[in-house]
Structure 1
Amino acid sequence: MTASRELDPLRARIAEACRVLAARGLADGILGHISLRVDERRLLVRCRGPEERGLGWTTPDDIRLVDLDGAEGVPGELDRHAVPNELPLHTGVLRSRPDVSAVVHAHPPNVVAADLAGLAIRPIVGSFDIPGTRLAAGGVPVYPRGVLIRNRRLAQEMVGAMRDRPVVVLRGHGLTSAAASVEEAVLQAISVDGLAGMSLRVVSAGGSLVDLPPEDMRELPDLGAGFNTETAWRHEVTRLRGVVAPEQG
């Protein structure tokens, strides 16, 4: 690493989150990326190096500091690494959403299949996934174009479809998840993927999707960030270490 060593703990956090996405099957192969806002003009983002191996083998060295236009955050930072083609997807959200610090872009097959089958992400479960149910109850919008979000115009379209929601489904493509932390953004993506997979299973079994009744929704407790995020993330990291063990070069 050539610069900004003080950011190394954040690089490690993002790299680990990329590996969680891969271990969960949300970002197979070399597609997908995560970003984290550092200040008003700069972000850390997973870039593609000369020996790209895919998200499941992301290391802190793959996480580079750039500005909102994709230029090096400090001289020498990119060092033969290329920013994602869809960097505007990240910067579009960060420019328009001051409440957001982290952006996840992934390609979950369940989410793509459910959307193409006409199945919206709905609050069909209860205590099976309380944070996911609450997220779905607020609505998960769809950006209806299956395009590579490679410029500001397309990013603005996606952000417009997303509005103020934490997740937007990208038709024929994947999803974008935005939150105050990397951990929250990844966990949101996992929940949406789980709901999509459950919906596909219900419909494949001949059933119909039914939203959780309002009276049951009111009974769902808020277990707090300590459980919903911290404990859930500790599980993901522990699970990851038993599934994927990339080199930490």
Structure 2
Amino acid sequence: MTGTEAARRLIADGCRVLANEGLVFGTLGHISARHGSGMLLRARGPADLGLQFSRAEEVVPATLAGDPLEESPYRLPVEHPLHGETLRLRPDVNAVVHAHPPAVVACTIAGLPLLPIAGAFDIPAARMAHDGIPTYRRSVLVRTPEIAQQMLDAMRDRPVCLLAGHGLIAVGDSVPQAVARAIAVDNLAKLTLQIAATGAPLVPIAEEDYQELPDLGGGLNDDTVWRHLVARLPTGGVQQ
């Protein structure tokens, strides 16, 4: 298997994980990864069955400007600038996830902030919330470089940005890391909604408690989480 084939399978598995974990529905949402001077991006074909059934062949190479690099029946999503501009303007990023978690969308509509309200329960989520999870306030498709740049201005150097009334973008060194970050933020949004529904205030944990939370490292936060998420898929990952 070539490196490109393995990368395509990884992206397809990531899309299926997002669907399996409830962060996307139908055909909406996509994942990309840096590939040479361009990117690999989950595209859509005439017989698309949705992200739950993503196949490696649906992941296509393109320039960062969104020009396909090979003949294919699959079309890039209209929000390809969300991926291309992120990879172009953030050299620290190798993978981009765009998803539509309902809990995240609900929090942005209700104006509920994602705070480090729990610590050891989900340390990656607590660490991201403590450092700040920004929000891009326009509820629009990120379908032009100009809109993508506005989104990135709001995101700054953070690993995740909420998109008001839309979803989120999560980035990382790898597809597994970006997917794990998206899921951690989704879990925090679900917890936020559950607490808000009781009428209790959203109170961050004490700073001294936060300082006791260790960075468990990518071996646990990303690799182990990824293996678990792929194992949860109905067929254990893309085989074609």
* 1:72 paired to 2:89: no
Say whether the 8 Å CA contact 1:34–1:45 is kept in structure 2. Answer: yes
Residue matched to 1:200:
193
Residue matched to 1:57:
53
1:57-94 deviation line (CA, Å, top 9, x unaligned): 00101100111121122x42xx1110010000011111
Q: Structure 2 CA distance, aligned partners of 1:153 and 1:236?
A: 34
* 1:27 paired to 2:28: no
1:155-166 aligned at under 5 Å gives the runs 155-166=148-159
Aligned residues: 240
Say whether the 8 Å CA contact 1:44–1:66 is kept in structure 2. Answer: yes
Q: Structure 2 CA distance, aligned partners of 1:134 and 1:6?
A: 32
% identical aligned pairs: 47
Q: Secondary structure at the match of 1:34?
A: strand
- Partner AA of 1:131 in structure 2: P
Instruction: Please identify runs of 4+ aligned residues in structure 1 that moved more than 2 A.
Output: 244-249
* 1:191 paired to 2:188: no
Residue matched to 1:110:
103
TM-score (norm 1): 0.93
Q: Structure 2 CA distance, aligned partners of 1:28 and 1:7?
A: 26
* 1:17 paired to 2:14: yes
1:217-228 aligned at under 5 Å gives the runs 217-228=210-221
* 1:122 paired to 2:115: yes
- Partner AA of 1:69 in structure 2: A
Residue matched to 2:38:
42
Say whether the 8 Å CA contact 1:57–1:246 is kept in structure 2. Answer: no
Residue matched to 1:136:
129
1:190-246 deviation line (CA, Å, top 9, x unaligned): 0111111101000101211000111100111222211111111111111123xx678
Please list every run of 5 or more consecutive structure 2 residues that lacks an aligned counterpart in the other structure.
Answer: none
* 1:87 paired to 2:80: yes
Q: Structure 1 CA distance, aligned partners of 2:186 and 2:230?
A: 18
Q: CA deviation at 1:128?
A: 0.5
Say whether the 8 Å CA contact 1:15–1:60 is kept in structure 2. Answer: yes
Say whether the 8 Å CA contact 1:58–1:246 is kept in structure 2. Answer: no
